[in-house]
Structure 1
Amino acid sequence: MKNSIALVLLLVSSLGFSQTLVTGKVTDQNGEPLPGATIAEKGTTTGVISDYNGNFEITVSSTEAVLSVSYIGFETQEIPVSGKSHIEVGLEETAVSLSGVTVQGFSGVMGKSRKRTESIQTTPESVTALNSEGIERAGITDISSFSSLVPNLKFNSSQSIGLNFITVRGIPQVRGGDAPLAFVIDGVTVPDPSLLSQDLYDLALVEVVKGPQGALYGKNAIGGAVNIYTKDPTNKMGNQLKLGGGNGGFKLAQFVSSGAIIKDKLFYRFSTQYKDFDGLLTNEFLDKKVDFREDINVRGQLKARLSSNFSITGSYQYFNIDGGATYYSVNPTGTDGEFTGGILDPNPSDGNNVIFSDVLGRSEMTNNYGTLKMDYNLSGVKLQAITSFNKVDRSTNGDLDFLELDGLTQGEEITTKTFNQEIRLTNAKTNTKFDWSLGGFYQKIKKDFYQNGTTGVDFGGPDAYDTADYINETQTIALFGFGDYKLTDKLTLSAGFRLDMDNFTQDDLLFATNSERDNSEFQPKVSLSYQANKNVLLYANYGRGYRNGGYNAQPTDLFNGDFDDETSDNYELGFKTSSWNDRLIFNGSVFYSTLNNQQQYILDLTTFIAGVYNYDKSEVFGFELESRARLSNFLDVFANFGLTDAEIVDGGTTGGEDGTLTDNTAYNGQKTPFVPVSTFGVGLESSFDITDNLKFSGFLNLDTTGKTYWHESNRDAFTTDAYSLLDTRLGLSYKNWKLELWGKNLTDKAYYQEFSPGEFVGSPDDVAWRGQPLTVGTSVSVKF
């Protein structure tokens, strides 16, 4: 062990010899970060770009080097290093007006999909990203609003707060299972998919990278990863206050403050938000709104630069969301002319989808999340250690028959605790053919799950019963590495791996059983990219993804006592191009995936037990296109299109532990449920100065979700046709003030986020979860 440590230290010291690492931050005259600024060592070919928070790292030839810092629309500065290892750069706007069409903040969005800062247009992955400016213009407030801009990505919610359904490239999320996307906040993987329900604000970057990313993000990145980076604490004091309101009794209050406690040494950032919404959907039986929601969010960060090479950042976030639950729609007339539920049209229309339960459902989610990140910069090498803890408490109570009958109710209590520890070594040399990172990871997840219900008089009650009471624990140890090697000036080979070693245990208190299993999964990734010229990138990728299995509450006819790990092998060809003096971007990719043991969910109402089962084999073929054009200095037009053909190749069999086997091979050749066959988006974005102090911004987006099959049978009675949602946001800024008007689902389109055919779960009723109707609002903010 001692010899291994000595070898690592020798490697680190030798890699860092003879070069000087300089870190820094580029901001404007107001202290706001400038992402995409160019930092170059004068007289050499060495250069880097600043990231989404304006930060940069560059290795220079000597302590007397001179850095040239430039950004479109700002005066270039030349700054002597003079032995300093950290430099703060403040750029002033140029007094000379720009001629022609500029692309500031357009094609130069900086992402971090491969754990390092690079332009989206030079990243050999299918990536959609927005920096802080784009996030604000598009009105990104949650994952749902961002997913509408990403081809082959769909985000839905249903039943209760924290219950989400993400589908990416033909891989859906299932209840009781993990999301097909890794969810990463400030470089820390957060495993609980319920956290995707939180509001997004005060952000520097949000990006989605698609295709298996197990080598970079570990298990459950079987379809990709969502990267969210919050804004850094600043050296200059700044505050922002925002107040807003809208229909449905919507109210918003937000406050952000950042600055230096000790200039150049200790910095803070504090942000908090409160949202309240009375609701727009009405329970016709109770005559009450059901989609109410109250959201309190508090976030704090402290960053200490203890030396020129060592910094520590601590962050803590708390949020509490309280809202409506279990308000499923039913058919108001049923099949016999009375209000008994029954067959429901999967394409909602007036009078066909009515909320009519006798119980007002309610759910709550509370989250406590803390991280401690330590960064140590050696000459040419960066050592990073990230420790995080996360606790989520969720509860749900509501109806289960979804009618006015004194019938069935449901209750659920879930507590999830997660501890993460990651140590990573990363190359920090700028001008090198070989870029690399390697490290280790440990994670422990403990999930305490309790579920119960009651049977009322109309169902032969009253009786109370427990349906699940268990504790699941997962421990993971992982080793990973990733590297790029420039074979030529244009051709780059990338390769990486991650070995996840998992131990799963379940202590079932209801059925007095204990289960344990181990699993190891090797997740390789190989990529070859060819930069044909500065405007054309071609790439080919192979990656393996892994989503861990787990245990069901108990076996039934429809599923086993456990479900298997899911794996995928993905092959992708893609291109990224820019033309017309960087005013037109056109990117695309085609992909093919094979999935083994793809996970699927079902609720067995004959036993009131929900569970997950596996298809033996399925496959996905698809492609996606993204384009953006700057028609003038004042107007961008953008569009995206995704097509997914997801098919069950071998449905296999499940259940059978009680002697009754469910044969799913009848669905061989059918489309995978919960997967839209296509997505399409088109929109306009505008920003210009009316006067020196008055500025306008506008955003309009039409998002179309294609046909969606809700069951393996693919019957028309369980299939939703394509539908479109129209969103907009308009803004006027005067000096430090900003007024915004926004609207979502402007055509008030009725649509479903989930549809459940009763025929296949032992229920006489179909039920569905309605999407949000037209919402409009306004807000005013001031910076000081």
Structure 2
Amino acid sequence: MKHTVSLLFLLITTLSFSQTTISGNVTDKKGEPIPGVNIIEKGTTNGSISDFNGNFEINVSSNDAVLEFSFIGFESQEISVSEKNQIDVTLNESAESLDEVVIRGFTGVIGKSRKRTESIQVTPESVTALNAEGIESAGISDVSSFSTLVPNLKFNSAQAVGLNFITVRGIPQVRGGDAPLAFVVDGVTIPDPSLLSQDLYDLALVEVVKGPQGALYGKNAIGGAVNIYTKEPTNKGSNRLKFGIGNGGSLLSQFVSSGAISKDKVFYRFSTQYKTFDGLLTNEFLNQNVDFSDNFNIRGQIKARLSKSFTVSATYQHFKIDGGATYYSVNPIGFDGEFPGGVLDPNPKEGNNVIVADVLGKSDMINNYGNFKMDYNFGNVKLQSITSINKVERSTFGDLDFIDLDLFTQGEEATTKTFNQELRINNTNTDTKLDWSLGGFYQKVEKDVYQNGADGVDAEFGPAEYDVADYVNEIKTIALFGFADYKLTEKLTASVGFRYDIDKFSQVDALFVTSSERDNNEFQPKVSLSYQASKNALFYANYGKGYRNGGYNADATDLFNREFDDETSDNYELGFKTTSWNNRLIFNGSIFSSKLNNQQQYILDLNTFIAGVYNYDETKIFGFELESRARLSNWLDVFANFGMADAEIVDGGTSGGSDGAFTDNTTYNGKKTPFVPVSSFGIGLESSFKVTDNLNFNGFLNLDTTGKTYWHESNLAIHTTDAYSLLDARIGLSYKNWQLDIWGKNLTDKQYYQEFSPGEFVGSPDDVAWRGQPLSVGTAISIKF
């Protein structure tokens, strides 16, 4: 071990010889970061760009070097390095450049999907991203609002706070299982999918990269990754205060402050937000709103430059969300035969569904999260350490029969604790054909789950009260990873990556007095070839293997086993990215094909009140995506996207095993995978212009269409939702340091379902469904000082 460390230190020292590292930040005159600024060492080809927080790093050959800073719409600057190791630059707007017609959007968006800072137009992946300006313009406040802009991505929620269903490229998320997307905040993987429900604010980047990303993000990135970066502490002091109101008793207050504790050395950022909402959906039996919520969030960040090469930062976040729960809709007829129930129309209209549960459901989620980062730049390489802890506590109580009779209730308490440690070595030399990174990762996840049900008054339906589940699942992961790009020619680049996960799973079940253990080792390779045919045209081909870990159910039934298997995928993709019409038109596209083994699905067995996950032996997915943005004039952009995912069950296999009873899922061979919209389509307008020197207008309009969705493997029409569209809009006016926003979501007040459960397949006489949010409108005013 000592020899290995010595050799590693020698390698780093050798690679970093004779280099001077310059870092800094680029902002406009208002102190806002400028992403995508070109920084070039004058007289050389050595260069870098600023990231979504305006930060940059560049290795120069000597202290006599001169750096050139340039960006469209701003005056260029030249700054001598001299003895400086930190350079903070303020660029001034250029009147001449502002008169040019240049598209805003994809070309100006800087992402980090491959763990390095670069324009998404030169990234050989299917990426949709928004930097801070785009986030504010579109009114992005959570993953759900961003998903409406991403083809083949659908985000739904149901039942309780933190219970999400995210589907990407034909791969759905299931209850009791992990999301098909890695969720990454400020470079830290967050394993609990319930945290996808949190509010997003004070952001620098929101980014979705699709296709298996296991080589870069590890397990559960079987369909891609969601990258979220918050705004960083700044050297220049700034504050922002925001208040908002909306229908349904919606209230918002937000405060953000950032600045230097010690100028040029230690910086802070503090942000907090409180939201409350009385609700818009009514329980007709209780005559109460059911979709209420209270949301409090606080986040603190500190960043310190301890030396010219050594930077540390720490983040702590706490939030608490209280909300309604279990307010499923049922057939308004109410009675069908001997037992209350009925068939529910999967295409909701006014009056054909009601919420009539006799219990007012409530749920909450509490999160405490912290990370500590250390970055040491040796010159041509950087060593980074990220340590993080995360604790999520969730509870749910509510009706289980979902009708106005005192039959059954349900309750759940779940606590997830996570510890992550990652070490990464990155190449930072931009003047080389080879770009690479290597690292190691350790993670421990412990999830404690307790569930109960059947608290009824009628003994005909079972005991008055009993526990359904009480267990602790634990996953320990050790992983090694690496990724490298090599320029074969000036236009052709080959990329190779890998990740090797060593997982150990265990479950201790206090209810059934059992314990289980198993291991799984998974190799996740990635190979990519990209061809930059011209400055404005990129073509690429990717192969990647994805992996979503399996786990344990509370018990075995005739619908599922005690254990569900690990899911793997092989994905092939061809894509292109183009700009034309003097950079006024962006047109990107990709086509993909995936084969999945042991794809995970969820079902609730109402005969036992136990929910579980089972596997299809094999499924296949074929699809494509198109995205475009055009600048029609100096003040108007139009954008559109379309996605199609044909997900088919090839071999459903068998599941279950309780008392020798099995379920034959091969009867569904050739059927479409449930919970997967077969298509998605979005079109919108974005406008931004100066009304006067101090008054600016910003407008955003988006129509998002979700295609036909099958809610069960049978693909029966009575359990299938047709395509529907939602219209959102936002208008903003800013005057000096003031800003007024007016927004509306689901402006046509369209009724739609986020989840539909056909009763005939789960042992229930009722079909039940979870309604989406009705028409929501509001306004907010903010001031920067």
Identify whether the pair has TM-score above 0.5, normalized to the shorter chain: yes
Distance 1:598 1:302 in 2: 42
Q: Is the 8 A contact 2:74 2:97 kept in 1?
A: no
1:191-228 C-alpha deviation (Å, 9 max, x unpaired): 00000000000000000000000000000000000000
What is the aligned partner in structure 1 of residue 294 from structure 2?
Answer: 294
Distance 1:494 1:62 in 2: 31
What is the aligned partner in structure 2 of residue 211 from structure 1?
Answer: 211
* One-letter amino acid matched to 1:437: S
* One-letter amino acid matched to 1:174: V
What is the aligned partner in structure 2 of residue 623 from structure 1?
Answer: 624
TM-superposed CA distance for 1:454, in Å, is 3.1
What is the aligned partner in structure 1 of residue 119 from structure 2?
Answer: 119
1:100-499 to 2 correspondences below 5 Å: 100-103=100-103, 106-334=106-334, 336=336, 340-458=340-458, 460=460, 463-499=464-500
Q: Classify the secondary structure of the residue corresponding to 1:234.
A: coil
What is the aligned partner in structure 2 of residue 59 from structure 1?
Answer: 59
Q: Please give the root-mean-square deviation of Cα atoms over the aligned residues, in Å.
A: 1.1
What is the aligned partner in structure 2 of residue 501 from structure 1?
Answer: 502
* One-letter amino acid matched to 1:31: G
Q: Is the 8 A contact 1:22 1:57 kept in 2?
A: yes
1:549-579 C-alpha deviation (Å, 9 max, x unpaired): 0000000000001000000000000000000
Distance 2:509 2:457 in 1: 30
Larger displacement relative to structure 2 (336-345 or 215-224): 336-345
Distance 1:165 1:264 in 2: 44
Q: Is the 8 A contact 2:589 2:624 kept in 1?
A: yes
Q: Is the 8 A contact 1:258 1:269 kept in 2?
A: yes
* One-letter amino acid matched to 1:717: I
Q: Classify the secondary structure of the residue corresponding to 1:240.
A: strand
What is the aligned partner in structure 2 of residue 607 from structure 1?
Answer: 608
Distance 2:676 2:90 in 1: 48
Normalised by the size of structure 2, how large is the TM-score?
A: 0.99
TM-superposed CA distance for 1:338, in Å, is 10
Q: Classify the secondary structure of the residue corresponding to 2:195.
A: helix
Q: Which runs of 5+ in 1 are unaligned?
A: none
TM-superposed CA distance for 1:61, in Å, is 1.8
* One-letter amino acid matched to 1:171: I
Distance 2:104 2:17 in 1: 37
Distance 2:618 2:75 in 1: 58
Distance 1:709 1:339 in 2: 26
What is the aligned partner in structure 1 of residue 692 from structure 2?
Answer: 691
* One-letter amino acid matched to 1:516: E
What is the aligned partner in structure 2 of residue 739 from structure 1?
Answer: 740
Q: Is the 8 A contact 1:332 1:340 kept in 2?
A: no
Larger displacement relative to structure 2 (11-20 or 29-38): 11-20
What is the aligned partner in structure 2 of residue 651 from structure 1?
Answer: 652
Distance 1:338 1:150 in 2: 46
What is the aligned partner in structure 2 of residue 45 from structure 1?
Answer: 45
TM-superposed CA distance for 1:99, in Å, is 2.8
Aligned length: 784
* One-letter amino acid matched to 1:449: V
1:129-161 C-alpha deviation (Å, 9 max, x unpaired): 000000000000000000000000000000000
TM-superposed CA distance for 1:16, in Å, is 1.4
* One-letter amino acid matched to 1:574: G
1:289-339 C-alpha deviation (Å, 9 max, x unpaired): 000000000011000110111011000000000000000000011464999
What is the aligned partner in structure 2 of residue 513 from structure 1?
Answer: 514
Distance 2:113 2:161 in 1: 28
Distance 2:606 2:526 in 1: 42
What is the aligned partner in structure 1 of residue 682 from structure 2?
Answer: 681
What is the aligned partner in structure 2 of residue 522 from structure 1?
Answer: 523
Distance 2:544 2:106 in 1: 29
Distance 1:97 1:211 in 2: 37
TM-superposed CA distance for 1:105, in Å, is 5.5
* One-letter amino acid matched to 1:152: N
Distance 1:270 1:233 in 2: 8
Distance 2:642 2:96 in 1: 39
Distance 2:695 2:683 in 1: 28
1:561-610 C-alpha deviation (Å, 9 max, x unpaired): 10000000000000000001111000000000000000000000000000
Q: Is the 8 A contact 1:407 1:459 kept in 2?
A: no
TM-superposed CA distance for 1:465, in Å, is 0.4
Distance 2:463 2:659 in 1: 28
Q: Is the 8 A contact 1:384 1:424 kept in 2?
A: yes
1:92-128 C-alpha deviation (Å, 9 max, x unpaired): 2235463331335651200000000010000000000
* One-letter amino acid matched to 1:744: K
1:590/1:522 CA distance change after superposition, 3 Å: same
1:667/1:339 CA distance change after superposition, 3 Å: closer
Distance 2:531 2:95 in 1: 39
Corresponding position: 1:720 with 2:721: yes
Distance 1:311 1:485 in 2: 29
Q: Is the 8 A contact 2:106 2:120 kept in 1?
A: no
What is the aligned partner in structure 2 of residue 535 from structure 1?
Answer: 536
TM-superposed CA distance for 1:656, in Å, is 2.4
Distance 2:98 2:276 in 1: 44
Q: Classify the secondary structure of the residue corresponding to 1:415.
A: strand
Q: Is the 8 A contact 1:332 1:339 kept in 2?
A: no
TM-superposed CA distance for 1:28, in Å, is 1.1
Distance 1:32 1:268 in 2: 16
1:459/1:197 CA distance change after superposition, 3 Å: farther
Q: Is the 8 A contact 2:470 2:510 kept in 1?
A: yes
* One-letter amino acid matched to 2:635: F
TM-superposed CA distance for 1:12, in Å, is 0.8
* One-letter amino acid matched to 1:634: W
Q: Classify the secondary structure of the residue corresponding to 1:133.
A: helix
1:165-203 C-alpha deviation (Å, 9 max, x unpaired): 000000000000000000000000000000000000000
What is the aligned partner in structure 1 of residue 704 from structure 2?
Answer: 703
1:489-535 C-alpha deviation (Å, 9 max, x unpaired): 00000000000000001000000000000110000000000000000
Normalised by the size of structure 1, how large is the TM-score?
A: 0.99
What is the aligned partner in structure 2 of residue 548 from structure 1?
Answer: 549
What is the aligned partner in structure 1 of residue 751 from structure 2?
Answer: 750
* One-letter amino acid matched to 1:272: T
* One-letter amino acid matched to 1:21: T
TM-superposed CA distance for 1:457, in Å, is 1.8
Q: Is the 8 A contact 2:274 2:297 kept in 1?
A: yes
1:329-355 C-alpha deviation (Å, 9 max, x unpaired): 000114649993210000001221100
Distance 2:308 2:533 in 1: 39
TM-superposed CA distance for 1:462, in Å, is 6.6
Distance 1:102 1:356 in 2: 54
* One-letter amino acid matched to 1:605: L
Distance 1:28 1:41 in 2: 21
Q: Is the 8 A contact 2:395 2:411 kept in 1?
A: yes
TM-superposed CA distance for 1:44, in Å, is 1.1
Q: Classify the secondary structure of the residue corresponding to 1:701.
A: strand
TM-superposed CA distance for 1:63, in Å, is 1.8
Larger displacement relative to structure 2 (53-62 or 237-246): 53-62
* One-letter amino acid matched to 1:351: G
* One-letter amino acid matched to 1:705: T
Q: Is the 8 A contact 1:21 1:59 kept in 2?
A: yes
Larger displacement relative to structure 2 (736-745 or 66-75): 66-75
Distance 1:195 1:642 in 2: 26
TM-superposed CA distance for 1:41, in Å, is 0.7
Distance 1:78 1:153 in 2: 43
Distance 1:134 1:665 in 2: 46
Distance 1:223 1:710 in 2: 20
What is the aligned partner in structure 1 of residue 589 from structure 2?
Answer: 588
Distance 1:74 1:743 in 2: 34
Distance 1:252 1:409 in 2: 33
